[in-house]
Amino acid sequence: MLQARDERGRLVKKPKPSVLSEMVANLGRGNAFVIVERVDDEADGDWYVQVWLRDDNTYQLEFRDGTAAEHYQTRTISQEKVIDALSGWAGGRPGWKDAFMWNNIGSCFQNAD
């Protein structure tokens, strides 16, 4: 099952693309991030995509595919691309991450798993 939550504590189970779009559109001071995660007892590790609206009004987008070694990050100024990425990831759409150049930041979490 998927769930989305924001910094204010709003939690939405099985979020639809329209809800993810609304959550990203509502990012701002005091509500600077949205996390969409797979909550599944059968899948090992952490599976999520998250966005943080930085103080310079850029979006920092990250995803993790199960382990810390598979944690990636990118930045963009495009709210539309962020919404497409979150919706694509949530929907399991192939190519959802193709609009970005991703950096593997797994080394930042070496002892996290």
Nearest Cα to Cα of residue 60 among 36, 47, 77, 46 = 77
The answer to whether residue 91 is domain-embedded is: yes
The answer to whether residue 112 is domain-embedded is: no
Is 83 within 8 Å of 24 (Cβ atoms)? Answer: yes
- Tokens describing residue 59: 């979006």
> pLDDT digit string (tens) for 56-78?
999 999 999 998 899 999 999 99
Average pLDDT for residues 10-34, to the nearest whole number? 97
- pLDDT, residue 41, reads 65
Give 103's contacts (C-beta < 8 A, 6+ positions apart): 72, 73, 74
Domains contained in the chain, number: 1
Strands (E), the chain: 2-6, 11-13, 33-38, 46-53, 59-66, 71-76, 103-104
The answer to whether residue 113 is domain-embedded is: no
Cβ atoms < 10 Å from Cβ of 36: 23
Give 4's contacts (C-beta < 8 A, 6+ positions apart): 11, 12, 15, 19, 20, 23, 34, 35, 36, 37, 90
- Domain residues for 91? 2-107
pLDDT for residue 112 is more than 70: no
∠40-79-32 over CA atoms, to 5°? 65
pLDDT band of residue 111 (cuts 50, 70, 90) is low
